[in-house]
Amino acid sequence: MKKLLIIGAGPAGCMAAISAKTNHPHWEVVLIDKNTRICEKLRLSGGGRCNISANVSIETVIEQTPRNGRFLYATLQTMNPIHIQQFFAQRDLPLVEEDHKRLFPITHKADDVANVLLKELQLLNIKFLFNMHIQQIDLQNRLVKTADDILRFNHLIIASGGASYSNTGSDGLILQELKSNIEITPLYPAETPLVCQEALIQSKCLQGLSLQDVGLSLFIDGKRKKKVVHDLLFTHFGLSGPGPLQCSSVIGPAFEENKKVHVVIDCLPSVSIATLETMLHTMSLGEVLKHFKLPKRLIEGYELLSKDLSIVQFLKSWPIIVHDVRGFNQAFVTWGGVSVKEIDPKTLIIKKYPFVSVCGEAIDIHSHTGGFNITIAMSTGCHAGKFFTQ
């Protein structure tokens, strides 16, 4: 019997195993993880509720994937948000939609998502090797090695995840191990808060203040790289919340390359400058804030900045320098991984090594928060499990 080894039992590896056994029933499928159970990171996801997907089209998943999103066209034919909804509904865990089209399991428990996957893996007689830390991959001889064991494979699927929240098992080390044979793009934290050291942030006068649906543009060396309308939270160190997180996902190596990064906040994205100017002829800043239901505390922020900015600039184009991003221990995903240049997008097989495939966050692809990362993990996992041949 031919043997398929899968390194990593996150959503990508689990879905790869399910798809592999379904499409290649005569192969022995072995799922390896250094943890003692499947899906440790998924169990934390969505604050323990697992924002598993989004009720959107394939095009939207690609749009919401700032890093190499177009690579996913083929995998999303195999598994997309509709298939994910069907998969879980057929296994008695329907998904329910919340704001921003986000999908959650009806029970609001990430553990229930993991349990559906586990049950399916057991039904298909997938073999588990838990507590097994793969340290070396010998591609020439088709072997994977731990400190004490050597396992032979006919085909290998790498589903080892990225490098964020390494306490969940995904630490990126296996990608470093592959570096001598396969191009691995450098790893950086993504979907992570922005660190700003400006006096306004240091003063903490806005700490804890959140703004709904504000415009945020991120500039690198003066060029706009991202524009979003989403929520924002001022923290003691900088900016957090979905808007800043989305902005962080285009920063990657910018700080290492000594580039200058700043964001511009538009507190009133649906109000024109001309309208605002007219209003300010007869209204104070406090009255304008009240009119647009913006928090009164913004006045404290403006008082600190008023030497440098007019009220219109403050409300429509308020610049804040970004000095860094929070690290892997606070990043939802990883920028970087197996370079997409190495992978055939139709099969997810490594071109140089046709007996190796890769899926999930181990690939140099990441999406925004909102259910897109688990979607692409499952989509690429399902695709990798379907299309291997040797």
Smallest distance from the beta carbon of 302 to ligand FAD, in angstroms? 34
Distance CA 209, CA 267 (A): 13
Half-sphere exposure of 346 (CA within 13 A, CB side): 3
- By the 8 A CB rule, do 365 and 373 touch? no
Residue with smaller CB distance to ligand FAD, 219 or 237: 237
Decide if residue 325 touches ligand FAD (CB under 6 A): no
| 248 Cβ contact partners less than 8 Å away, ≥ 6 residues apart | 189, 190, 191, 192, 193, 194, 325, 331
Span near ligand FAD by CB under 6 A; candidates 23-31, 217-225, 243-251, 373-381: 373-381
Decide if residue 164 touches ligand FAD (CB under 6 A): yes
3-state secondary structure of 11: helix
| Nearest by Cα to 339 from 56, 68, 57 | 68
| 296 Cβ contact partners less than 8 Å away, ≥ 6 residues apart | 286, 289, 290
Alpha-carbon dihedral 280, 282, 284, 290, rounded to 10 degrees: -90
Decide if residue 189 touches ligand FAD (CB under 6 A): no
State which of residues 4, 6, 13, 239 lies at the interface with ligand FAD (CB under 6 A).
13
Decide if residue 72 touches ligand FAD (CB under 6 A): no
| Longest Cα–Cα distance in the chain | 81
Decide if residue 51 touches ligand FAD (CB under 6 A): yes
State which of residues 4, 32, 114, 178 lies at the interface with ligand FAD (CB under 6 A).
32
Distance CA 157, CA 137 (A): 11
- Interaction residues for ligand FAD, span 108-147 (CB under 6 A): 133-134
Query: For residue 48, what are its two tokens?
Result: 């323990």
Query: For residue 353, what are its two tokens?
Result: 């090594």
Whether the CA torsion 282, 284, 286, 292 is positive or negative: it is: positive
- Interaction residues for ligand FAD, span 235-254 (CB under 6 A): none
- Interaction residues for ligand FAD, span 207-236 (CB under 6 A): none
Residue with smaller CB distance to ligand FAD, 338 or 377: 377
Decide if residue 45 touches ligand FAD (CB under 6 A): yes
State which of residues 182, 194, 247, 374 lies at the interface with ligand FAD (CB under 6 A).
374
Size of the site for ligand FAD (CB under 6 A): 38
| 351 Cβ contact partners less than 8 Å away, ≥ 6 residues apart | 342, 343, 344
Smallest distance from the beta carbon of 95 to ligand FAD, in angstroms? 12
Smallest distance from the beta carbon of 89 to ligand FAD, in angstroms? 18
- By the 8 A CB rule, do 280 and 273 touch? no
State which of residues 333, 350, 358, 365 lies at the interface with ligand FAD (CB under 6 A).
333
Smallest distance from the beta carbon of 161 to ligand FAD, in angstroms? 2
Give the footprint of ligand FAD on this chain (CB under 6 A): 7-13, 32-35, 40-42, 44-46, 50-51, 133-134, 159-161, 164-165, 169-170, 174, 332-333, 360-361, 371-374, 377
